Structure 1
Amino acid sequence: MEIIDFRNDLGRINAPRAGPPLRAGCAFGAREGPWAPLIPARQFSGSGPCAISADGSGGGLPIVSPVSELLEIDELRQRFEVHGQGHVFDFWEQLDARERGALARQATRLAESLGELIEDQRTAVAALGTDTEPDSISPGEAIPLPEHGGNPVQAEAAREHGLRLLSAGRVGICVVAGGQGTRLGFKGPKGAFPIGPVSNRSLFALQAQKIRGLARRSGHTMPWYVMTSEATDASTRALFEAEDYFGLDPQSVRIFTQGMLPAWDLDARLILEAPHRIAESPNGHGGALTALDESGILDDMEARGVDRLFYYQVDNPLVRLGDPVYLGFHEECRAEMSCKVVRKADAQEKVGVVARVHGRPSVIEYTEFSENLRDKRDADGGLLYWAGNIAIHIFNLDFLRRIARDSARLLPVHASPKVIESVNSPLNLRASDGPNGYKLERFVFDALPWADRTCVLEVRATEEFSPIKNAEGKDSPESSRAQLVGCYRAWMEQAGIPVPPEIDAIEIDHSVIDSADEAIATGLANLVDAGGAILVSKGPTGRKS
């Protein structure tokens, strides 16, 4: 017997104008109610909400109510037509019951804020190609590295302050992990990408090691908040379960999903990526700030006594999770939001720049930074706007709540031209050459100007920033593994642990050794004594010999 399960397409069917929601044992014929075109006349049976079988006998499977009450199809059409988006239903007559249900649910959800979505799209597209006014921009301020005038004594004091914060259990960790490994030729969530220079352990596994090390040193379990997207949520949850949460207490790991925003064609029309589906994409890393609130994570933080959130992106294996120096400076500056920055390698490097806009600390995305300002030099010939944002932040809990309450105003939507699968035109069922539409997203760093006080800390790119963005070349798995090995070699050298010349790759277990200081503290005389804490290989990085 074939079971047709409507849980993911229709949910519990609510039709206010046609009577109460369906109950077990009630009939819903093909000519009854607003959803008649979606469901053939069959008898629902069982002791509760159920799926129905192809022969109408009832399957007894629970139906999960959707977030929004489904609207009548005529009302849905009218809402979209009023806003010039009636084409969303152009293929309705060709759809089967399941496809109609899927489109109806998605359209009902979008209908709630369709006017606002259209206005966001117009504003974002209008802003494309308009650089921030030069007269409003001035260089930002940052706590510099010692080689650029920083004070090592202050850094050590900040470290002690940060360690006290960690020991008090006030710090949580949040990773943005909604991306897929498609550009790397990898099927699956980016956090599952194998990056260990010797073991090929995944990004998630490496970062879990760092969190276990933090817990060991601080005496407190660190909650790990993992943000996924619709595309990566199920596979990420399955991976964490299969890997036994990478050695962490499952109760300390909370996985939540970011929101989605619809895509638009060049004529400001919603794009249909299939006859029954409106194209949507994750709402950007800025979506983390609203998702943290909507998913209950902020309440979870408060319940745990956590009021500082360390934020980073999953594709940077060099990130120093819960860096006590960074946390300490954040506290000493009495900041609500902090940023780490590196000195840009050159004017054309594709990273946002931390500067002041109208006197407020801000991050200017590289696509919105004028070439004139990008190349501007200081008296010593260095870049005037050198502070490259590396997407590592600290947030105060009360600041996160304030941003989440007013996110529509405080976090503007940005548009980027993209090639998007589209069936909007019957004559062109797939995207033509070049961008055919816009994807929209929010940026997490747009929260920075709204903080009452901020802290910007300079760090070394060679030690803390090696994102995996491309399949080869710069910012690739190969370059990132090479930087990891370089860091490990430096730790061994500082600890006086000899590395034989035939060793091509080194990998250190971060739950045991997470810095040169910890390598020194082990008192190891050689690599052999380290056991499994230090792996070596005579083959190329990323492959065991």
Structure 2
Amino acid sequence: MTTRRPTTRDFADFLRHSNQFENLQYFEKTLTEEERDAMSASYFSNCELDWNQLEEKVNNALAAKSLTDSFYTKRQLVFSSEAISNPALNIFDKRSSLAFKWNELGLESLIRGECAVCILAGGQATRLNQGSTTPKGCFVIPYLPSQKSLFQILVEKVQKAEIMAFEHHQRCPGKIISYPRIPVLILTSEENNEETKNFFRKHELFGLQECQLFFLTQPMLPVFRFESMKSLHPLSFIFKSQTEVAFAPSGNGAFYSALAVSGLSKHLRDIGVRYIQICPVDNPLVNIADTAFLGLCIQEKIDVGCKGFSVPIEDFNKNAGVFCADFASSTSKVNWSILEYSELDENLLARHGKRERHDGYVIANMAVHCLSLSFCDQVWNSQNKLSRQAYSESTSMYHIAKKNIPTCQLKEGVVEGIKLESFIFDEFHQAEKLGILIVDKASEFSPIKRADSPLSDIKDFGKVPEGTPLAARLAILRNDLRQLPFGSLRDMNKLSIDMDALSFEIDPMVPILLPTEMLRLGLTKHDSETQEEIPKK
């Protein structure tokens, strides 16, 4: 039995039944027959949900946003002092004396082929290059001598991890091993999937083998024009052009379904993968395929590992989310959640900042995770079960993001719209055991979120705004210098930098001793003179 393809009349009826009368009039009176056909086809090829389902998703997300304050009176911000004094929170420090053991376990796991990595790359570089529609991972950081893209920087870090694992085991007498190939997953969106694939082909996969590179795609959802909840019909589509309804990626929360539906989850399980390390494409400092992080998750039997860093609550910026926990739970299990940076409210931070018995340092989320493959399967099974129920029973969570959307319906050519997106951490409440690894922010976190100011406006390189390409470039430089033997972490952070220094860059394939190896060889000290402690009360 064949399914009837939706027609132009079906789309007009859709607009009529959803009370989008202004859009209906524009559709029927302004567009030509060919344009109406093209717009109808573009909509139905991207979305199979009916209006009731779409409207419910938006209303639930709006309600969740308005209830953020009351929700987080139960789930409180976690402060560093509480983390140190409460072992049940499963918070660990990468500067721990156990890090050497974690690293050994991680290297062993890599050589056995038990870890894959996934780069979250569904976004465009719109805010980095004004008006750019190229995938964010194709962005080249200005002033970087090698002129490498974000994709190349991250892929080379994976290759460096492969080399380290292989060389580590070559030093083990009597062991015959094959060269490890870490599976690399790229989560794209439908709007940048083909361009991302072409970019990798153009650069010969950056040295990866075809058998280890996989592309996953997150679906698209319509973007809405939102008048007011007081309005009789507050929601309506935005016509991007005379042949297209505006759509946007549904968020990296689609990772679980994409992994399962593509068959990749089964493939990874068949080849022995047990963990997937996940990172965003916009952080060039990220330690991808981190062996210490992997080893920690293995040793502590953690099925959801997260990386974070301590930051004073008064200095908190909106480049990262924050960890929250339900301390009032009747069970011994801690219920974790993450408040996304786009949803942070200054009043909420101020209210929690007045709590007693804390040091004023919250734990920020770096969006770097290590998930067990069994946890990913568990999430998909629960989502799949819900999807078979009536949509009104679904507990799927979406977040609201406001965005300027191009439109052909206004003279200004742009309108503020709302998009729905889900996040990978929305499902972390299902974890049997969640653990957080505290790392040094300066070494591992400098995401690129917005464009640079003109270089002529920057008088002091020590005061470059965070979240910009230049800030990331300076962080890479300091990180390169920090890797050199005998370099002091504290000295590197205070290093005075000028334009000439920006010509210095270390190739990731150059063998640099790991901090744990330097400790073993006595090349550096592991004390308060060279390491910054987690702030204590």
Normalising by structure 2, report the TM-score.
Answer: 0.75
Match of 1:136 among 63, 69, 74: 74
Residue 481 of structure 1 corresponds to 473
1:509 equivalent in structure 2: 507
CA contact (8 A) 1:71 1:108 kept: no
Q: 2:213 matched to which residue of 1?
A: 253
Q: In 1, distance between residues paired with 2:344 and 2:149? A: 35
Q: Deviation per CA, 1:259-297: give whole Å up to 9, x if none.
A: 111111112112222233211101122222322223333
| TM-fit CA distance, 1:381 | 6.4
- Map residues 305-384 of structure 1 onto 2, 5 A cutoff: 305-347=272-314, 348-350=316-318, 351-357=320-326, 359=329, 360-375=335-350, 376=353, 382-383=359-360
5+ unaligned residues in a row in structure 2: which ranges?
A: 79-88, 166-178, 227-233, 330-334, 388-393, 453-464, 522-537
Q: CA deviation at 1:481?
A: 1.0
Q: Which moved more, 1:86-95 or 1:471-480?
A: 86-95
Query: 1:457 — aligned with what?
Result: 437
1:155 to 91, 96, 99: 99
Aligned Cα root-mean-square deviation (Å): 3.1
TM superposition shift of 1:256? 2.5
Q: Relative to structure 2, which stretch is displaced further, 118-127 or 349-358?
A: 349-358
Q: 1:442 to 1:264 in 2, by over 3 A?
A: same
Cα deviation per residue 1:2-59 (whole Å; 9 max; x = unaligned)?
xxxxxxxxxxxxxx8xxx8xxxxxxxxxxxxxxxxxxxxxxxxxxxxxxxxxxxxxxx
State yes or no: 1:103 paired with 2:40. yes
Q: How does 1:35-434 map to 2 (within 5 A)?
A: 70-85=5-20, 89-90=24-25, 91-92=27-28, 94-97=31-34, 100-107=37-44, 110-133=47-70, 134-140=72-78, 141=89, 143-145=91-93, 152-185=96-129, 187=132, 188-195=134-141, 197-218=144-165, 219-266=179-226, 267-347=234-314, 348-350=316-318, 351-357=320-326, 359=329, 360-375=335-350, 376=353, 382-383=359-360, 386-407=362-383, 409=394, 411-423=396-408, 428-430=410-412
Distance 1:418 1:193, change over 3 A: closer
Opposite residue 190 of structure 1, the aligned amino acid is K
Give the 3 Å change call, closer, same or farther, for CA 250–126 of structure 1 in structure 2: same
**Identity score, percent:** 25
8 Å contact kept, 1:495–1:520: no
> 1:397 Cα deviation (Å)?
1.4
What is the CA distance between 1:230 and its match in structure 2?
2.7
- What residue identity is the alignment partner of 1:349? N
Q: Deviations 1:63-95 (Å, cap 9, x if unpaired)?
A: xxxxx8522444444345333346655425633
Matched residue SS, 1:107: helix
Partner of 1:310, secondary structure, is strand
Tell me which amino acid in the other structure corresponds to 1:208: V
Distance 1:86 1:259, change over 3 A: farther
Q: What is the TM-score normalised by the length of structure 1?
A: 0.74
Q: Which amino acid in 1 is paired with 2:61?
A: A
Q: Deviations over 1:101-158 (max 9, x none)?
A: 4523523653444321210011112333432325302344353437xxx6x2322222
More relative contact order, 1 or 2 (CA 8 Å, 6+ apart): 2
Question: Which sits farther off after the overlay, 110-119 or 472-481?
Answer: 110-119
Residues 420 and 105 of structure 1, relative CA distance in 2, 3 Å threshold: closer
SS at match of 1:222: coil
* CA distance 1:116–1:352, change in 2 (3 Å): same
2-side partners of 1:339 and 1:181: how far apart? 26
Contact 2:115 2:274 in 1 (8 A): yes
Pair 1:98–1:73, CA change in 2 (3 A): closer
Whether the 8 Å CA contact 2:47–2:220 is kept in 1: the answer is no
Output the CA distance in 2 between the equivalents of 1:112 and 1:368: 26
**Partner SS for 1:405:** helix
Alpha-carbon distance in structure 2 between the residues aligned to 1:309 and 1:340: 14
Larger Rg: 1
Give the number of equivalent residue pairs.
445
Deviation, 1:514, is 5.8
More helix, by proportion: 2
Tell me how far 1:420 sits from its aligned partner: 2.2
Q: CA deviation at 1:513?
A: 3.2
CA distance in 2, matches of 1:519, 1:206: 24
Distance in 2, matches of 1:464 and 1:485, equals: 12
For residues 193 and 506 of structure 1, the distance between their equivalents in structure 2, rounded to whole angstroms, comes to 20
| Alpha-carbon distance in 1 for matches of 2:408, 2:35 | 19
Distance of 1:518 and 1:505 partners within structure 2:
29
Cα shift at 1:455: 0.9
Contact kept, 8 Å, 1:77 with 1:86, in 2: the verdict is: no
